Homo-oligomer: A and B are copies of this chain.
Amino acid sequence: MAGSQNKKQIIDTDIHERATYKDLLPYLDNPWKRYITDSDWVQEKHLPYPILGADGLDRADAKPPSGGPAGNSLSFMQEQLLDDIGHEAGILTGALDPSPSSMHGWYEMAVALATAYNDWQIENWLDKDERIYGSVHVAAQDPQAAVREIERVGPHPKMVQVLLPIDDRPWGDPYYHPIFEAAERHDLTIGMHHNEPPSYYGQFPRYFVEWHSVMPNTHMVQINSMVFNGVFEKYPNLKLVMIEAGFTYAPALMKKMDQQYKALRHEVPWVKRLPSRIIQEHVRFTTQPVDELSQKEFMQFIELMGSEDMVCFSTDYPHWDYDSPFQALPALGDDLERKIFRENARAAYPKLPQAAGMVNQ
């Protein structure tokens, strides 16, 4: 993207910074440190796909000239993304490996990694560029440790969300409620990034394209679970941002949940309003990987959601399927573009600067 003539003032809701294991060593105590230095421990892998050639999940041009994997260098991210596009702000969502947000099993190590990752993130990113905001990584395999970590780093002024790992228990489960309570208390939004959930009966489908095409299903299950288990009645200020599954699945989910609620609400008397109203108020969706939609189609999906306030732009930099803010969306008009590129994110993340001027893009 170097050499773009125009700038676009955006709040980017999905940027993947990346630590190496070596980066995390200064933030780890023994024995965890020694598992890496002496035993070459690496996180278990989940995705069974031989994907996408030499650059794996990353854009071919995103590898920093100074070495290291894509997303590992602040200065290169500043040059290639933030300065080039004109970001007002960007929210870091971490990388797959090493990431406590996608780690199963061995929860003590996951807790240690989350702590180290958050400290590394604060010191090397949040405190180094005023545009960059962060996500609290937690090891939800130990929910009490997750709450402690939210208490520890959640008050940092640049931490805006808790990135909650996806596991085999849907998020409405009471198991997660202490985490929601702590997030709400610290004005932190709950973020769901797609991570690596299998799509069917705990299994991965045969092809990456197949898995990636039904990624929204896991998001649908979590929204559905949180709404019907009364999470948003219990934590009325909680916000939820669904990251990296687009937004086109929302209308069908909202219509179906409303219809079922009207017939079956005796089962869930703690749910006091139509699910679509709860979703409109509490849930936001990031665009990437955005479907190819005409202006008319885009507006039909927005109209069917019943609100222009629910979609937030994201690039997913530096991944292979990065969306450019100059190309990803059809022309939507100044009002809606302002909402999608900036204002909806501001409302979704209370700790982002709220008083930014309405600068023209």
Contact = CB atoms under 8 A, between A and B. Distances in A.
A118 B262 CA distance: 36
A144 interface: no
Interface in A144-178: 168, 170, 172-173
Contacts of A293: 255
B228 A224 contact: no
A30 to B, nearest CB: 35
Given A200-B170, A201-B202, A303-B300, A207 B259 contact: no
A215 to B, nearest CB: 8
A297 interface: yes
A256 B246 contact: yes
Interface string A243-286: 00010110111011111111111011000000100000000000
Interface size range on A against B: 35 or more
Contacts of A213: 224, 228, 253, 256-257, 260-261, 275
Identical subunits present: 2
A142 B297 CA distance: 44
Contacts of A259: 289-292
A252 B202 CA distance: 23
Contacts of A300: 300, 303-304
Given A248-B251, A255-B248, A304-B300, A264 B212 contact: yes
A207 B172 CA distance: 11
B264 A208 contact: yes
A268 to B, nearest CB: 6
Interface of A: 168, 170, 172-173, 198-203, 205-210, 212-218, 220-221, 224-225, 228-229, 246, 248-249, 251-253, 255-265, 267-268, 275, 289-293, 297, 300-301, 303-304, 321
Given A213-B224, A252-B252, 15 more contacts: A172-B206, A172-B210, A200-B221, A200-B225, A201-B201, A205-B228, A206-B229, A207-B264, A208-B267, A209-B263, A209-B265, A210-B268, A217-B220, A255-B291, A255-B293
20 contacts: A168-B201, A170-B205, A200-B221, A207-B264, A207-B267, A208-B264, A208-B267, A209-B268, A212-B260, A213-B228, A213-B256, A214-B220, A215-B256, A248-B251, A252-B252, A252-B301, A255-B297, A258-B291, A259-B292, A301-B304
